[in-house]
Chains A and B, each alone.
Chain A
Amino acid sequence: MDDIILQFHTSAVAVLWPLLSKVPTWITYAVAYSVGGCVVLGWIALMAIVGTYGERRIAGFIQVRYGPNRVGPQGIFQPLADGIKLLCKEDTVPNVANRALFFVAPVLVLLGAMIPFAVLPFSERIVLTNMELALYYVLAFQAIEVIGILMAGWGPGSKWSLYGGMRLAAQMLSYEIPLGLCALVIILLSGSLNLGEIARWQAGPFLGMEHPWIFGWAVFRSPAALIAFFMFYVGGLAATKRAPFDLPEAESELVAGYHTEYAGIRFAFFFMAEYAAMYVVCAMSAILFLGGWHGPIPRPETAEGFEFMKTWSDLIQAGAPGAATFVDRCTLFVSSLWSVVSSNDGIRLIAREAIGAANVVGKSFFLYFVMIWARWTFPRIRIDQVMHLCLKVLLPIGLGCVIWAAVQVVLFPH
C-alpha cells in the first residue's frame, strides 16, 4: 500500500492542492494506515458477530434444536444484543489481582489477534501491507497472543486462570512447530514468503495447463501439500484453542480457563480475539493451500498495463491547468476518479478484485464453518493426548512432508 499512498500523495494531491503536498508523507501514511486499521477492526468485529451467531446457530442445528432465533429475523441481531449486554456489565477486578497484568492482558490478546490482519490479503490488491516476509510475520507474531494469555492467567490471581494460561502456553508453543513445518512445505514449493506471491504461484501453469483453475491450488500440486494442508488446519485449531483442543478453557474442570475472572467488555475482547484468530487461520489456510483468490469463481482479466493510480493521475494532470478555483479542483478530483472507475478497465479491475475477495472470504468461511462443525462433533482430549498428537504425529509427518516437498522441488522443478 506504501507505493499507492505515495503515488496518491504526489500525483493527485500535490497537483491539485500544492499546499497539502507540504504535509510530510509520514502524516499521510499515518492517516491512511489508521483508516486501514479501522477497516480491519471493523472486519474483526464482524468476524466476532458472524462467529458467535454462526457458532450458536450451527451448534443448535447439530444438536437438533434451533439456537438463538428471537432477536431480529432468524435471530441475526443476537450478537448485538449480547454485545450491549457485555458493555453494560459490571467490570469486576479481583482484590488479589496484579492490576497491571490484569488490565493489559485483554488488550494484548486482541492486539495479537489483530496483527496478522496487517498483511492478510483479501484479494490481489486489497491488502494493507504487501510484505515480503508476510508468512514469517504471521507465524512469529502469534506469540504476542501467548504472552497476553499468560498475563491473563497470572494477573487475576486465580488458580483456574493460571491453569488455563499454562496449558495454553504449552499447547500454543508446541503447535507452532507443526504449523511452521506445514508452512515450510509451501515456502519450499512456491519459493516465496510473500502471501501474494504464493497465491500467484498457485495460478501459474501446472501439468501443461496454462490456467489450471482450481487444479493449480497447492493441495493439488503436491501430495505433501495436501497432507500439510490438513495438518496446518489441525494445528491452527490447536493454536486458536478450539475444540477438541480447548483445554485452556475447559469449562468442566477450569470454569472458563484464562478468562475466568474477566467480565464485561474485557471478556468480549478475549472472545473477539478468539474469533479473529480463527479467521486468520482459515484465511491463511485458504491463501497458502487453496489458491487464495484464484478460487472456484473465475476472475475477469484486466487490460494489459492498466494501472488505476496512473490513469487517474494522468487524467488529473491533464485537467489541472483548467481548474482554477477550489471548487473546480474538487470537481476535477471526483469526476476524474469517477471516469476511471466507470471506464471499461476500471469496472473489470473492480470486478476482478471483488471476485478475488469473494473467493478468499468464501473459502475462509467454509473452513470457519468446518471449525465450528468440528467443535460440536469431538469431545475434548486430554493434555497428554494433545501433546502426543503434536509431537508424535504431526511433527514426524510434517518433517516427512517437508522432505518430500524438498525432493519434489529438486527433481521436478516446474
Chain B
Amino acid sequence: MTRRPKNAFRLYCTDVWAGIYTTCVGLGVTIRYLFGKNVTMLYPEVRPEIPPTHRGLHALDESKCILCRLCATNCPVGCIAIESAGKGKTGMVTRYDVDYSQCLFCNLCAEACPTKCLRLTEAYSMIRGRREDCVLRLARPKSQSEIDEHMVKLARREAEKKAASKEAPETP
C-alpha cells in the first residue's frame, strides 16, 4: 500500500490541467503543419532539381574518344565493354556498353578519361524491365558497310603515310 500524499487533490488538478494544456499544444502543432507547405512533391509532374555533380547515367562524346580504354581499365567492376575499328585517334568506336547492373557510379572512368569525352550526367531514371536492358549502348550503332568503309579509309591513309615515309629519306 502506498501512502496517499497529502496534496493528492492538488496533484490531481495539476494533472488534469497539464492534460488539457498539452492537448491544446499538440493540436496547435499539427494545425500549423496542416496549413504549412508540403515537403513531398508530385513526382512525375514535378521533377526534383539534380545538382550538376550528380553521378547518374554515362554520356559519351564519340568524336573526342581516342580509344585509350583507360575508362575500362580503371573500372573496378569491369562494366565497360569497348570494341573499335582501328586504333587511337583515328579509330572508330563500334561498341561502348556500360552494364548498369554492375556499375557503381564511382566516377573513376570519367576521371581517367584524358579527353573528357566521358562523363556521368544528371539523368537518374534507370528503371528497366528486363535484365538485358540494363546494358546501355552508348556508341552510335554502325552498319557493317560503314565500318568497312572506315577500315578502307584507314588502310588508304596508312598506305599514303608509308609512301610518304619511303619518299622522305630521299628529300634531304
Q: Could you tell me the distance between the alpha carbons of A392 and B13 in the complex, rounded to whole angstroms?
A: 11
Is there an interface contact between B39 and A64, defined as CB atoms closer than 8 Å? yes
Is there an interface contact between A64 and B36, defined as CB atoms closer than 8 Å? yes
Is there an interface contact between A64 and B40, defined as CB atoms closer than 8 Å? yes
Q: Could you tell me the distance between the alpha carbons of A144 and B76 in the complex, rounded to whole angstroms?
A: 70
Say yes or no for A22: interface residue by CB 8 A criterion.
no
Select the stretch in A13-21, A95-103, A371-379 that faces chain B.
A371-379
How many residue pairs link A and B with beta carbons under 8 A? The number is: 37
* Also in contact, A393 and B16, with CB within 8 A (given A61-B38, A62-B33, A69-B42): yes
* Also in contact, A377 and B39, with CB within 8 A (given A61-B34, A62-B34, A393-B16): no
Per DSSP, chain B at the interface is helix
B16, B26, B38: the one contacting A66 at CB < 8 Å is B38
Residues in B neighbouring A66, C-beta threshold 8 A: 38, 40, 42
Residue of A nearest to B40 (CB): A65
Say yes or no for B30: interface residue by CB 8 A criterion.
yes
Q: Could you tell me the distance between the alpha carbons of A64 and B33 in the complex, rounded to whole angstroms?
A: 6
B23, B36, B37, B42: which has the most chain A beta carbons within 10 Å?
B23
Is there an interface contact between B29 and A64, defined as CB atoms closer than 8 Å? no
Q: Could you tell me the distance between the alpha carbons of A374 and B24 in the complex, rounded to whole angstroms?
A: 10
Q: Return the CB mask of B9-37 against A: 1 if under 8 Å, else 0.
A: 00010001001000100110111011111
Residues in B neighbouring A69, C-beta threshold 8 A: 42
Q: Which of A365-392 contact B (CB under 8 A)?
A: 373-374, 376-378, 392
Residues in B neighbouring A373, C-beta threshold 8 A: 27, 30-31, 34
Q: Could you tell me the distance between the alpha carbons of A373 and B33 in the complex, rounded to whole angstroms?
A: 11
Residue of A nearest to B31 (CB): A373
Q: Could you tell me the distance between the alpha carbons of A393 and B31 in the complex, rounded to whole angstroms?
A: 26
Residue of B nearest to A392 (CB): B12
Residues in A neighbouring B27, C-beta threshold 8 A: 373-374, 377
A62, A65, A392, A393: the one contacting B30 at CB < 8 Å is A62
Residue of A nearest to B23 (CB): A378
Is there an interface contact between A377 and B42, defined as CB atoms closer than 8 Å? no
* Also in contact, A58 and B34, with CB within 8 A (given A377-B27, A377-B29): yes
Residues in B neighbouring A331, C-beta threshold 8 A: none
Is there an interface contact between A378 and B26, defined as CB atoms closer than 8 Å? yes
Say yes or no for A63: interface residue by CB 8 A criterion.
yes
Q: Which of A146-161 contact B (CB under 8 A)?
A: none
Residues in B neighbouring A65, C-beta threshold 8 A: 38-40
Residues in A neighbouring B40, C-beta threshold 8 A: 64-66
Is there an interface contact between A63 and B31, defined as CB atoms closer than 8 Å? no
Q: Could you tell me the distance between the alpha carbons of A61 and B36 in the complex, rounded to whole angstroms?
A: 8
B26, B38, B42: the one contacting A64 at CB < 8 Å is B38
Q: Which residues of A contact B (CB under 8 A)?
A: 58, 61-66, 69, 373-374, 376-378, 392-393
A-B contact pairs, 28 of them (CB 8 A): A58-B34, A61-B33, A61-B38, A62-B30, A62-B33, A62-B34, A64-B33, A64-B36, A64-B37, A64-B38, A64-B40, A65-B39, A66-B40, A66-B42, A373-B27, A373-B30, A373-B31, A373-B34, A374-B27, A376-B30, A377-B26, A377-B27, A377-B29, A378-B23, A378-B26, A392-B12, A393-B16, A393-B19
In addition to A66-B42, A377-B29, A378-B23, 4 A-B residue pairs with Cβ atoms within 8 Å of each other are: A61-B34, A66-B38, A376-B30, A377-B30
